Structure 1
Amino acid sequence: MSGVVGWIDFRRELGDQHSLLHSMTRTMLHRGPDTEDVWIDGHAAIGHRGLATGHPDAVRPARVTLGGATVYAAHTGEVYNGDELRRDIEAAGGAPRGGTTAEALLRAYLLWGTDFVERVNGAFAFAIWDGRTRRLHLGRDRMGVKPLYHHPYNGGVLFASEPKGILANPLFRPRLDLSALPVVLQPRLARPGETPLKDLYEVEPAHVVTYGETGSSRRRYWQLVSEPHHDTFEQTARRVRELLDDTVRRQLTSDVPLGAMLSGGVDSTSVAALAADALRKDDPDRELATFCVEFESDPKHFVATELRPDIDAPYAAQAAAFLGTRHSTLTASVQDLLDVIPATRRARDLPGWGQFDASMYLIFQRIRDNCPVALTGEAADEVFGGYPYFTKPEVLGADRFPWLFDGPKLSRYLAPDLLAAIDPEEDERARYADTLARVPRLAGESAADARLREVFFLGLSGPLSVILDRKERMSMAHGLDVRVPFCDHRLLQYVWNVPWELKSRGGVKGLLKAAMADVLPPATVHRKKSAYPHVQNPDYDRTLVREATWIVNDDASPLKDLFDTGRTNGLIAQISAGAVHGELPGGSNQAALLIQLVELRRWMEEYQVSLP
């Protein structure tokens, strides 16, 4: 919920920049349709738009004047342990309990400095300007559910919840970072904080970035800790249930109608079951609304794959009937997807994911028509090991990212001079080594268990960031606050140390199924893992092939000099003939390989992104 923008200039006062700050703030209207705050004081200018899930004043920023200087705090997202935080503040001698979330964060900062963030449970980002020290602090939640971007320049910094807030200031000119092309063409490779635009960065998950007159610094305030797990399987299942139940209850705190995504799989059904039960206990007449997406062409074109063995809609309907929710299924056509893809690009301000963004954009639009807040089961596969690669010895044994597989990669089709300068294969190896170097190790662990720990960490890095980014941008494009219980850091920390033998007992995600067995319908318990759906339709595939062909051969294309025309045409011809060999990331089909190529061209045109 909500959006923030800001501008700190240590060399000049910004009192004459009200018009520009208002323009920056208006870019966040979709994130915060309910309130607006614009504040300028000397060298600091901050704008905020609020999405109210209770009283509108509850989402406004807070400020206090101390010794003639202002300390200002603005936040986005939700703090789920607000009452606990306020008790801690009162016990430490702070102001009595009460006040808005921003006021609580501000009081916590005045007591403990930026260390206060270690006490916060939630999905949030914050900006705190301390006029006493003339320092800006930017922070982000532990899993990076809520975004926050920043652009440092000589003498100052711009920041915003989405790149559009920074792009609205002429101090920033969008230029493509050629060294980031491997990431643009395969976003799962991105390192935390990395973007494809030169000098634009994202605050890393679980970090606070501080800007002052003499420079900047960054501090990690949380990370996973590896330690032995001593609980039995039954104790572990009970603890998982306790943590997930507590997390869902915390995230249900809201005065507005609530919804949940429901695919009929174990992840979303678990969240929906706990949410529906909690709502009924609070008010017997309060009902959870659930939502699912299907495609108009499924009866004709759906083909079962390892990652998507069946269609969600029938299972979702059964689960909804079992749980007693008010259920809705959105049926999307290929034309529906194509019509909203430009809007999904604008929701990101960065190259998108085509149909994968579009279907989520449409389902979130449907949810927002009914509820301002919804829950989702995303991240459970990364936490509990739901993907097929967790059980494939040949994949686990390969010294590479387990989710990249062996299919062709677009980065290998760059122009020869770029290949020589960037070397995508070496770049991929370096990213892999860098990620492995950050794995929290456990002394004495067997080689097999140590490798599984690595694989879990690899999945919690780039792939999970892609999922969370898509969820956040597509939902906030409609002013919808989507919450992710499986990203609660307490749950993640506990399950991180559960051995694979316990996580997988009884089959894929056996631990989660055991923890939730009493509230799941039989069809859900016995259903195979099925990933978020994508349309399987030759019309969509032909659209991708046609546009990719035009892009590669268009002399006016900004990509003309970036790709090897002959070799890329050869790849497109292979895709058209269904002759591409190898497995692709995400279980997508061959034509989907071209999505990043198409999106890169469209993004560069729409956002006037220049080459270096």
Structure 2
Amino acid sequence: MCGLTGWVSYQRDLTGQTEIIDAMTRTMECRGPDDGGTWVSEHALLGHRRLSIIDPAAGAQPMPAEAEDDSLPVISYTGEVYNYRELRDELAELGHRFRTGTDTEVVLRAYQQWGAEFPERLNGIYAMAIWDPRSEELLLVRDRMGVKPLYYYPTEDGVLFGSEPKAVLAHPEAEAVVDADGLREIFGIVKTPGHGVFRGMHEVRPATVVRFGRDGQHTTQYWQLRARPHTDDLDTTIRKVRELLEDIVQRQLVADVTVGTLLSGGMDSSAVTALAARALREKGHEQPVQAFSVDFKGHSERFASNVQWEDPDTPFAIEVAEHVGAEHIIVELDNQDVLDPEVRESVLRAQDLPVSTGDMEYSLLVLCRELRKRMTVALSGEAADELFGGYTWFHDEEAVQADTFPWHHPFEKAGGIGALRQVGLWDRLEMDEYVKRRYTQALEEVPRLEGETGTRERMRELTYLNLTRWENFLLDRKDRISMAASLEVRVPFTDHRLVEYVYNTPWEMKNFDGREKSLLREALRGVLPDSALDRKKNPYPSTQDEKYETALRERVEGLLTKGSPVLDLVPESGIRSLLDEPFGTYGVGGPWGARAVLERLVEFDNWVTEYNVRVEL
């Protein structure tokens, strides 16, 4: 999947600054362990690390349009364009000649042919930087749904940029400073598009081209969700969703390396696994698709249902794998796997920020590392819940009507907001006001259909909030951690054709039988066993072993004995008040409960130390 970085300066000669671009590029080695390179010119330096997926023998980057002509555009690109073969044929007919079989070169030729409007023609997940020496202009481009990350940091005479903040922070002019708004993004579960958390750093928003030139910065949005009347009846809608998913999964299997799936046993990952297995058989593949699941030792025996988890995943994953003919690999973890200091350090370094969902992120890294031993690419069911209405907050009337982000309702019910108040952080950061402001801004963006009112209007709002905020939070986590294991994760449910169609499908169709994801369930009827179709939505698994909470509490106690940086943020008395609560008071709660707050305090302390962060309130 690769990693990119670079530096543009209009007032300095950068040809003698190769040590800096080399250092920035090295931070991306996990994203691209197969190869690396830099491109040097007077006013622009580009770096790239490659994870070879298509045409592994060719495609070294940064890739110039012509190897012997430095006056033509050069690209540093990450991601996959799934329609690159069609685009290649179209460009060849227009006179372009290709020296590799990569999608990277297709994207570069597309820019040469169509200029800054070329992203409109791409179907895929991507982030890229194109430097055009002819105009001395830099283009930063990100895919429609924001699957692949890209950050930038304006300087007095140019800009620094990279796939992850760590690449930017490797430059001596970039400071790791976090102010109050940055802390609010970390602790408030807000995920404001474009906010880079570090002061002065920005995230390229999804579906956006950011152009830098001698005349300054210009931003263009090349795609956006639009409200359109839905004219298909229910049967036609069900059939269209099925057809789109079949085409999307088939396209996303394109690779010159092994492709597998992540399988939880829930509807979304099961659908991707089933459709992938079928598509591979139709292509004549003799080996079954490999499907990976994660579980905790003893989890089924001690499992207790709660507000988030109704039943263990593994029995359902086993049944789905047998049903679709997949080779099923269960990665079984114990407490030590998620408490391992190396794993926790790697997750921190992967995300460049304190963890947000506790042990889920550590187990995800271990799972991805196990996948990487067998393959380079995996398909995931991520993002279906945001689109089809799978989360509890789509079906809880209090959450639906709450005048805030809908996921804040379970966060509060599980004790998360209460815990942040208890340690004094919620009020100190004035989170009520911040969340309200960001929520109001988000509602102002919602594309609305004339004449739409009541439930339809409100569910459109909730779907938009989920697709543009909550989904980006989860996609960023999945990308950062999987790429830390040098594993490319593809996300079929983010294909913009499916998103456009389902976004405009009325809520009564998405929920036609009164259950979550009714539309998706019916589209998959006959593809999956009834057990997977009828199962209640479960989040990614989290350990329920009390020993994990014991170890976590011990780490929090350790913060109170060494004058830790976290004590500059929250008082010792507030932390002790949480520790004084009985074991299990807050339950598991995933990203919601107070246990996750304790996790964040521990990781915040580590983050400030490891990244030498300066906190300015």
Partner of 2:371: 367
What amino acid does structure 1 have at the position aligned with 2:497?
R
Partner of 1:173: 175
1:395 aligns with 2:399: yes
Counterpart secondary structure, 1:211? strand
In the alignment, is the contact (CA less than 8 A) between 2:261 and 2:379 conserved in 1? yes
Q: 1:341 aligns with which of 329, 339, 344?
A: 344
Deviations 1:157-180 (A, max 9, x none): 111111221222212121122222
Partner of 2:148: 146
In the alignment, is the contact (CA less than 8 A) between 1:261 and 1:377 conserved in 2? yes
Counterpart secondary structure, 1:310? coil
Counterpart secondary structure, 1:7? strand
Task: After TM superposition, give the deviation of residue 412 of structure 1 in Å.
Answer: 3.6
What amino acid does structure 1 have at the position aligned with 2:263?
L
Give unpaired runs (5+ residues) of structure 2: none
In the alignment, is the contact (CA less than 8 A) between 1:403 and 1:585 conserved in 2? no
In the alignment, is the contact (CA less than 8 A) between 1:403 and 1:586 conserved in 2? no
Task: After TM superposition, give the deviation of residue 184 of structure 1 in Å.
Answer: 1.1
Counterpart secondary structure, 1:237? helix
In the alignment, is the contact (CA less than 8 A) between 2:33 and 2:486 conserved in 1? yes
RMSD: 2.2
Partner of 1:537: 545
Partner of 2:299: 298
1:425 aligns with 2:428: no
What amino acid does structure 1 have at the position aligned with 2:475?
L
Q: 1:502 aligns with which of 505, 509, 513?
A: 509
Residues 157-556 of structure 1 mapped to structure 2, 5 A cutoff: 157-186=159-188, 188-339=189-340, 340-353=343-356, 354-405=358-409, 406=412, 407-409=415-417, 411-412=420-421, 419=427, 422-506=429-513, 507-551=515-559, 553-554=560-561, 556=563
What amino acid does structure 2 have at the position aligned with 1:493?
E
In the alignment, is the contact (CA less than 8 A) between 1:81 and 1:122 conserved in 2? yes
* TM-score (normalizing by structure 1): 0.94
Give the stretch that moved more between structures: 192-201 or 600-609. 192-201
What amino acid does structure 1 have at the position aligned with 2:376?
P
Task: After TM superposition, give the deviation of residue 599 of structure 1 in Å.
Answer: 1.3
In the alignment, is the contact (CA less than 8 A) between 2:54 and 2:101 conserved in 1? no
Give the stretch that moved more between structures: 246-255 or 497-506. 497-506
1:136 aligns with 2:144: no
In the alignment, is the contact (CA less than 8 A) between 1:182 and 1:411 conserved in 2? no
Give the stretch that moved more between structures: 164-173 or 53-62. 53-62
Q: 1:86 aligns with which of 80, 85, 88?
A: 88
Q: Distance in 2 between matches of 1:369 and 1:222?
A: 37
Counterpart secondary structure, 1:517? coil
* TM-score (normalizing by structure 2): 0.93
Q: Distance in 2 between matches of 1:59 and 1:536?
A: 46
Task: After TM superposition, give the deviation of residue 549 of structure 1 in Å.
Answer: 3.9
Q: Distance in 2 between matches of 1:578 and 1:295?
A: 18
Task: After TM superposition, give the deviation of residue 446 of structure 1 in Å.
Answer: 2.4
In the alignment, is the contact (CA less than 8 A) between 1:209 and 1:219 conserved in 2? yes
In the alignment, is the contact (CA less than 8 A) between 1:411 and 1:424 conserved in 2? no
Q: Distance in 2 between matches of 1:438 and 1:254?
A: 37
In the alignment, is the contact (CA less than 8 A) between 1:180 and 1:196 conserved in 2? yes
Q: Distance in 2 between matches of 1:34 and 1:204?
A: 28
Task: After TM superposition, give the deviation of residue 512 of structure 1 in Å.
Answer: 0.8
What amino acid does structure 2 have at the position aligned with 1:392?
D
Give unpaired runs (5+ residues) of structure 1: none
In the alignment, is the contact (CA less than 8 A) between 1:29 and 1:49 conserved in 2? yes
Task: After TM superposition, give the deviation of residue 521 of structure 1 in Å.
Answer: 1.2
In the alignment, is the contact (CA less than 8 A) between 2:38 and 2:61 conserved in 1? no
Task: After TM superposition, give the deviation of residue 94 of structure 1 in Å.
Answer: 4.4
In the alignment, is the contact (CA less than 8 A) between 2:416 and 2:592 conserved in 1? no
Q: Distance in 1 between matches of 2:205 and 2:589?
A: 24
